[in-house]
Amino acid sequence: MKIEADLVIQNASQLLTCSQEAPDLVGLVRNGWMALRGGEIIAVGDQADVKSSVSLDVAEVIDAAGKVVAPGFVDCHTHLVFGGSRVEEYSARLVTDDPEELRRRNVPTGIMVSVEQTRAASADELYRQSAQRLEEMILSGTTTVESKSGYGLDMETELRILEVNRRLEHNYPVEVVSTFLGAHGWPPSMKKEDYIDQLTKEMIPAVSGAGLAEFCDIWCDEGHYTASECRYVLEAGRGSGFEPKIHTGAYSHIGGADLAAEMKAVSADHLNFTPRESLRRLAGAGVTGVLLPGIDFAVRHPKPFNPVPMIEEGLEIALATNCCPGCWCTSMPLIVQLGCRNHGLSPEQAIRAATLGGAKALLRHEKTGSLEKGKRADIQIWNIDRYEDLVYHLGSPMVDTVIQKGRTIVSGGRPVWNTIS
Ligand SMILES: [Zn+2]
């Protein structure tokens, strides 16, 4: 008796498995078929492979003729939950980055502006603003998204942000992975050492006790936290059950990547200034390098990240939106386009980094990020007949269908989920 599928996707012009061992990185199958049951992938391949292993007699059918089937995007680095907007700063910086001129024009700048706006927002306001961004992400093909705290920098607001993560995860058909980034900065009213004390002795244990996060993150760069401060905070996090992640090398190289390698962190993110020997250490330690083309574009970064030495050293790479007040981007297709054109990734490297790479950066690679038997049915269907068009059709909406845990949540480019909120 063959197992009965409950949903079949058939006749795809191209199907990208993005499986671990795919020699072309994307695992291209022409005339691709796949069968699902109970939210899980039970068969994938060409028509003969699928029909020989499962029964399709009672399955609902999605015809993907003329389209490309791919894993849902895993957006593994975002600051999804924040209050307000920094559009004034963004607009002003389009014509000048001179701090004197920005001061003269009275333009409020920097992360503390967002901290104030976030502290002032109620849980419901934060939820509403973040839910709108999350809906855009789902419509752009994202089925798993990481969301960091870090615009509160005090116990009350950090917990409020993480509770919004939990509510979003509960109400929307997307997996929201929560990260505690209390060490995104420190409040101007406090000495850094005192805040580190509060982080490690009060905030981390409180977040852990409430079960509100899975990872602990920190920013290691000049003017932010030093590598030894990061070690202290991330070790405290690990002691409370949080695996470490690190923002590092965005504007300097002060040892954050080497610390990530030494601690076998889950990911090291940004890496603009990280030298080859540190990239080699990261690769050797199995750390995933998370690359953020959106922020490099949005801030016109003086030293955009270079993936070439990373790939040569064997580093696993992931692409993410870094959706935040400084880089208001919810679209993984745009990130893939920027990663290719501005940073020299091939379409195959970029698509792989936006799916399986992202899953590795969240320790979800056994569960999602590729289309393989036994994995969760997190799938998207693009309205294009060859995958390179994802990179070529700049800014076009290409996501036709999104399936999460086997359930169709976007169809014909429109939402068909019902939120509970
Ligand atoms: Zn970030």
The answer to whether 268 and 257 are in contact (CB under 8 A) is yes
Residue 20 is predicted with a pLDDT of: 95
* Fold that domain 74-361 belongs to in CATH: TIM Barrel (3.20.20)
Distance from the CA of 235 to the center of ligand 1, in angstroms? 20
Q: Which of 146, 396, 152 is nearest to 292 (CA)?
A: 146
159 confidence band (pLDDT: 50, 70, 90) = very high
**Mean pLDDT calculated for residue range 295-302:** 97
Residue 418 is predicted with a pLDDT of: 80
CA distances in angstroms from 296 to 27, 79, 291, 405, listed in the order given: 29, 16, 9, 33
pLDDT over 90 at 392, yes or no: yes
Express as a percent the part of the chain with pLDDT over 70. 99
Distance from the CA of 87 to the center of ligand 1, in angstroms? 18
d(CA 86, CA 325): 6
Over residues 76-128, the pLDDT tens digits come to: 999 999 999 999 999 999 999 999 999 999 999 999 999 999 999 999 999 99
Q: Burial, 302: exposed, middle or buried (Cβ in 10 Å; 0-12, 13-18, 19+)? A: exposed
Distance from the CA of 49 to the center of ligand 1, in angstroms? 42
Distance from the CA of 270 to the center of ligand 1, in angstroms? 8
Over residues 205-247, the pLDDT tens digits come to: 999 999 999 999 999 999 999 999 999 999 999 999 999 999 9
Distance from the CA of 90 to the center of ligand 1, in angstroms? 17
- Here the tokens at position 369 are 């990020």
1 confidence band (pLDDT: 50, 70, 90) = confident
SS3 125: helix
Distance from the CA of 29 to the center of ligand 1, in angstroms? 35
Residue 407 is predicted with a pLDDT of: 96
Residue ranges per domain, the chain?
A: 3-71+370-415, 74-361
Distance from the CA of 39 to the center of ligand 1, in angstroms? 31
CA distances in angstroms from 224 to 111, 245, 256, 315, 421, listed in the order given: 12, 15, 11, 25, 37
Q: Which CATH number describes the domain made up of 3-71+370-415?
A: 2.30.40.10
- Here the tokens at position 395 are 């800014």
DSSP for 296-321? HHHTT-SS---HHHHHHTT-EEEE--
CB hemisphere CA count around 363 (13 angstroms): 13
d(CA 370, CA 19): 5
CA distances in angstroms from 222 to 185, 250, 255, listed in the order given: 12, 9, 10
Distance from the CA of 79 to the center of ligand 1, in angstroms? 6
Distance from the CA of 396 to the center of ligand 1, in angstroms? 26
Distance from the CA of 70 to the center of ligand 1, in angstroms? 26
Q: Given the structure tokens 């870090």, which residue do they identify?
A: 150
